[in-house]
Structure 1
Amino acid sequence: MSLDRAGGARRFGWGIAVPIFLVGATDAVADAAFIGAASAALAPAAVVASLYPAVTLLLNRLLLRERLHTVHLYGALAALFAVACLAR
């Protein structure tokens, strides 16, 4: 819980629980995929795992409606470009 402007307790509803659940679920899926890929080729799993910060930026933008600063946008684009180069 947090305090509202008047100093009273404010309860979080389902509006915050859904994004938290989605982040936890996608993290669990990513961990399972990484463990599953460890028995096979590790290189593709490492490349996909390196995109974790870009996914965090995307979720912040979509779910929390945070502003993406220019440096964050360039970093995410550079990471996507690097993955495209490694995929060839």
Structure 2
Amino acid sequence: MSDYRILMKIILSTQNQPTEKTQHFRGEEKIAVPDSLQIVKYPDDVEYYLLYLDKEGNELTDTYHDQLEDALAQAEWEFSVSPEQWEIL
């Protein structure tokens, strides 16, 4: 288990389909559409990470953000996730 703290999470639904504004790759292989997203913070870091998770909760990829608002904006831009859809932990 990672040592980060989960701040917010969402299970993506039919209203959160990929906008296709960006694509993520592992090597040359395009990663699958995530089932859920989490915004996390590591101890002693001021930055935030948006994690893209599969159905089992395994990390597919992540994006790095200086501000929480930037991570929220990334999720909205990629998956039309509105702020009120997030579960705050």
Q: TM-score, normalised by structure 2?
A: 0.25
Q: Which has the higher helix share?
A: 1
RCO comparison, higher one (Cα < 8 Å, 6+)? 2
Q: Which has the higher strand share?
A: 2
**Greater Rg by CA:** 1
